[in-house]
Structure 1
């Protein structure tokens, strides 16, 4: 990718990648390999927040630490599933970078886009760079029609009611200035699926500069999706909450 070739580490910037995991034994090694492949010229660390996965995810991460070093792969485990928002807050406590990337472990967020995120931030000075499926160059691979309609409908509904100024509210592949992420996490009350939407809506309300990079979201190959009917109900509740409070 052109962005990857042009990418240079500027001004001592360091990037902390926070990756929450639960039963990602089959994905985490490939994700880590791809991050190292695409961020060769960048100072970074990967903080893996595992919520007590019973499938041996932590054992794989410990093997990766032996290969890449415990200073590059940080395992910061928790005893059980405590919610996505708290996972990011937990990882943030251990982040030494001045920029933080949040991304999923299931390979739906391909690390090949990371250089474009960093390059966009360097060019614009943005506080947040978010990956989007809904502008030219973006898309979704592996979803059935119902899943696509549900996602698109959720974004259209949120845009109509909240006017957040970004095209993809439910995406969870983003680059933040660390201080901005800390501010937003402290401002948010949501802990689950709604957390991503609340973060970006509050960022917009606070006047933080947000830039977008088109990505193709790929549905997970290994493991099972964590999204179900209860998450959709929570999304609608969260939407109503944000409409009243922001």
Structure 2
């Protein structure tokens, strides 16, 4: 069996319908990028809609697919940490199961790591990016990322795009310090990586908003609170 170069992770929670499209599309794309040298890990996080059974059946007939099941909900961040620890590739990437980011960008994302970057991340906020989403989401996203840049001194434009790749050998010195267990994981990883001097490349992407996605007032409050809490840990607690 060929050595695994790329481990691609799909974080999943009650996403059966999306999995039916995402798994075959992922396998097709990854085969073009790293033929015979990849694995697709489905980090299934306590789903109740049959997602685990669907992936388990897929795994039985296709050895490129691996199910990583959790009996209880871990949260996005902890599910990704667990999957990265289990990954066998020298390059580890993940993307959202709804394929909101166009898969045509996966080759460039992985190529950035091959070229020497420690982390590559998709960006919906670069001038070359193409995005389709509601006005409310757009305002919230730009406001959130502006605060991350201002308060946490990040040099990046988009911290929450679910489309990232990492050099696996750089993760052991980074992930233990990341405490976010859900959506803020993406931001904390990028902020802490910059503080460690990791080489990070942002790539413009084509992205569309998923169905049923809304932004509520309490979500905006959580965003601001998470930013301030991380600033406190970085500058006061020195974590």
Say if 1:23 and 1:225 are closer, same or farther in 2 by CA, change over 3 A: farther
Matched pairs, number = 229
- Partner residue in 2 for 1:35: 26
TM-score computed with the length of structure 2 as normaliser: 0.88
Residue 121 of structure 2: SS of its match in structure 1?
Answer: strand
What stretches of structure 2 of length at least 5 have no aligned partner?
Answer: 235-239
Aligned equivalent of 2:106, options 105, 111, 114: 114
Say if 1:26 and 1:226 are closer, same or farther in 2 by CA, change over 3 A: farther
What stretches of structure 1 of length at least 5 have no aligned partner?
Answer: 1-11
- Partner residue in 2 for 1:50: 44
Q: Is the 8 A contact 2:131 2:207 kept in 1?
A: yes
Aligned equivalent of 2:228, options 221, 237, 240: 240
- Partner residue in 1 for 2:140: 150
Q: Distance in 2 between matches of 1:232 and 1:195?
A: 16
Aligned equivalent of 2:163, options 167, 173, 177: 173
- Partner residue in 2 for 1:9: none
Q: Distance in 2 between matches of 1:226 and 1:84?
A: 18
TM-score computed with the length of structure 1 as normaliser: 0.86
Aligned equivalent of 1:133, options 108, 124, 128: 124
Cα offsets for 1:26-66 (capped at 9, x unmatched): 11121121222222240211111112211111122123224
Say if 1:186 and 1:177 are closer, same or farther in 2 by CA, change over 3 A: same
Aligned equivalent of 2:198, options 200, 208, 215: 208
Q: Is the 8 A contact 1:31 1:111 kept in 2?
A: no
Say if 1:226 and 1:52 are closer, same or farther in 2 by CA, change over 3 A: farther
1:102 offset after TM fit, Å? 1.8
Aligned equivalent of 2:72, options 55, 66, 80: 80
